[in-house]
Homo-oligomer: A and B are copies of this chain.
Amino acid sequence: MRPTTKDLAQAAGVSLATVDRVLNDRSGVRKDTVDRVNQAIEKLGFTRNLVAANLARGKDYRFVFLLPRTGDQFLEGLIKRIGEANLAFAAEMVRAEVIHIPEGDPHQIAHLLGKLDAERVNGVAIMAPESPQVRDAKARLAHRGIETVSFISGQITQDHDDFVGIDNHAAGATAGRLMGRFSEGKPGKILVIAETMLARDSLERRLGFDEVINADYPHLSVLPSLETYGDADRAARILEASFSGHPGISGVYVLSSESRLALTLINARPKTRQPLIIAHERTPFNEAGLLSNQIDALITQDPGHLVRSAIRILRARCDRRDILASQEKIRIEILFKENI
């Protein structure tokens, strides 16, 4: 059977109280006593029963997902998954809540983060563009004992397990590979569309995309990125300009998760030849597009996995535990009609 604290106490020749002091490193234990207990831990292969420990502590984990407010379908899916995770993790005393960021303003995000109460919140998953304000706010949170992770988009950091999301450079490269191989060696121009190129994710995807196309598919030329800013009129205008300015458009790569605007416009155009279309994320719109052959491939990340991974990482950090890296690696998924 699994050794308990009592077994430990006996093996180390000390009392339960001392074992407890060592385990929760409370002060007032002589160094060689600590060593004796640690040796016993090694010897017995003792692992603290976290279930019982948390019960005793009456501890629960309260996490917050800080998300932007938009009508984005990807975001909606994410929120749904957070709700699901809330149910699934309820038995493990984990509670996740969504807080929307009213505006994209970094100051406001930082302000919101600053207002979080360490008594009420143990960890935050932050989905927000990179900015010095947010970085500072995160540092202050860490100081106050609130754990943070960058969620999907966000800070670039050396600390690899601070980020939950895919490698966007690799995702772009994957899109590039697909675009190249699907083009069947025929020359053409590739249109790249984003809501905004200010987002780090879009930038990185574009970079990865270009790298592969330039290296392996010289007969394809990638046009400068178009930015819709989520504005229908603007989108219609710049798309029309691109198509009439560049007759040989053979492919379209939509960088942002919200592809409805651009793809609806493109599909409404009088088609001479249907361009190859690659987009990101498995939204209802994109899924329908894939099934009806209007989209050729999707590059996605699983929202459920993202949410659960963020929760697991935050919880592990609260417990000062290691994570299982292989479980938390978010995969770049490729979706066709066949494996949807």
Residues of A within 8 A of B (CB): 2, 47, 49-52, 54-55, 60, 81, 84, 87-88, 90-93, 170-171, 173-174, 176-178, 181-182, 184-185, 208, 212, 302, 304, 308, 324, 326-327, 331-334, 336-339
Question: Out of B55, B177, B304, B337, which one reaches A338, CB within 8 Å?
Answer: B177
What residues of B have a CB within 8 angstroms of the CB of A339 in the complex? Answer: 170-171, 173-174, 331-332, 334
What residues of B have a CB within 8 angstroms of the CB of A170 in the complex? Answer: 338-339
What residues of B have a CB within 8 angstroms of the CB of A337 in the complex? Answer: 177
18 contacts between A and B (CB under 8 A): A2-B60, A47-B90, A49-B93, A51-B54, A52-B55, A87-B324, A171-B339, A173-B339, A174-B336, A174-B339, A177-B338, A184-B184, A184-B185, A208-B338, A308-B327, A331-B331, A333-B333, A334-B339
Bound-complex Cα distance A81 to B2 (A): 22
Q: How far is the CB of A49 from chain B (nearest CB, A)?
A: 7
Q: Which residue of B lies closest to A92 (CB)?
A: B51
What residues of B have a CB within 8 angstroms of the CB of A51 in the complex? Answer: 51, 54-55, 91-93
Q: Which residue of B lies closest to A85 (CB)?
A: B324
What residues of B have a CB within 8 angstroms of the CB of A84 in the complex? Answer: 324, 326
- The verdict on A50 contacting B91 (CB below 8 Å), with A184-B184, A208-B338 known, is yes
Pairwise interchain contact B338-A212, C-beta atoms closer than 8 A: yes
Pairwise interchain contact B88-A327, C-beta atoms closer than 8 A: yes
Q: Which residue of B lies closest to A323 (CB)?
A: B88
Bound-complex Cα distance A108 to B339 (A): 35
Q: How far is the CB of A212 from chain B (nearest CB, A)?
A: 7
What residues of B have a CB within 8 angstroms of the CB of A208 in the complex? Answer: 338
Question: Out of B184, B333, B336, which one reaches A331, CB within 8 Å?
Answer: B333
Given contacts A51-B51, A178-B336, A304-B327, list 14 more A-B pairs with CB under 8 A: A51-B91, A51-B92, A55-B55, A87-B324, A170-B338, A170-B339, A171-B339, A173-B338, A184-B185, A302-B331, A331-B339, A333-B334, A334-B336, A334-B339
What residues of B have a CB within 8 angstroms of the CB of A92 in the complex? Answer: 50-51
- The verdict on A174 contacting B338 (CB below 8 Å), with A47-B91, A84-B326, A333-B331 known, is yes
Bound-complex Cα distance A81 to B208 (A): 31
What residues of B have a CB within 8 angstroms of the CB of A55 in the complex? Answer: 49, 51-52, 55
Bound-complex Cα distance A304 to B81 (A): 21
Question: Out of B47, B91, B326, B334, which one reaches A49, CB within 8 Å?
Answer: B91
Bound-complex Cα distance A25 to B171 (A): 51
What residues of B have a CB within 8 angstroms of the CB of A182 in the complex? Answer: 181
Q: How far is the CB of A281 from chain B (nearest CB, A)?
A: 14
Q: How far is the CB of A179 from chain B (nearest CB, A)?
A: 11
What residues of B have a CB within 8 angstroms of the CB of A173 in the complex? Answer: 338-339
